[in-house]
Amino acid sequence: MPKIEIYTWTTCPYCRRAKDLLNRKAVPYTEYDITGDEAARSKMVERTGGPRTVPQIFIDDRHIGGCDDLHALDSKGELDTLLKVA
C-alpha cells in the first residue's frame, strides 16, 4: 500500500471532495488538518514547493497537487495505479 498524505482545512469543500474519492477507493491515508496552524501550513508549503491552497495531496512522498489534480488522475485511469488498487 502506498503512503497517502493529505493536508486539509476543516471547512474546505475541496478537501472533503478529495477525501471522499480516497474513501471510495478504500485506501488509508494520513490527514493533516492545518486549520489555523501557520507552522503546519509552512511545512506543507515547503513540501509542495509553493502552493498554499488546500488540499495538498502526496502519494509516496510525490506531490500530486490538489483536489482537481486528484480527480484528473482518476479520470485518466492513472490514480488506481498510483494507489495500487484494482
pLDDT per position as a tens digit, 32-46: 999 999 999 999 999
8 Å CB contact between 21 and 73? no
CA 42 to chain centre: 16
Instruction: Tell how strand 4-8 and strand 30-33 pair up.
Output: parallel
Cα–Cα distance between 10 and 7 in angstroms, integer?
10
| Digit-coded pLDDT (tens) for 37-81 | 999 999 999 999 999 999 999 999 999 999 999 999 999 999 999
CB 64, CB 73: distance < 8 Å: yes
Rounded Cα gap, residues 37 and 40, in angstroms: 5
What pTM was computed for the model?
0.94
pLDDT band at 1 (very low <50, low <70, confident <90, very high): confident
pLDDT of residue 70: 98
Fold of 4-83: Glutaredoxin (3.40.30)
| Residue extents of the structural domains in the chain | 4-83
Q: What is the mean pLDDT of residues 15-30?
A: 98
Res 55: pLDDT: 98
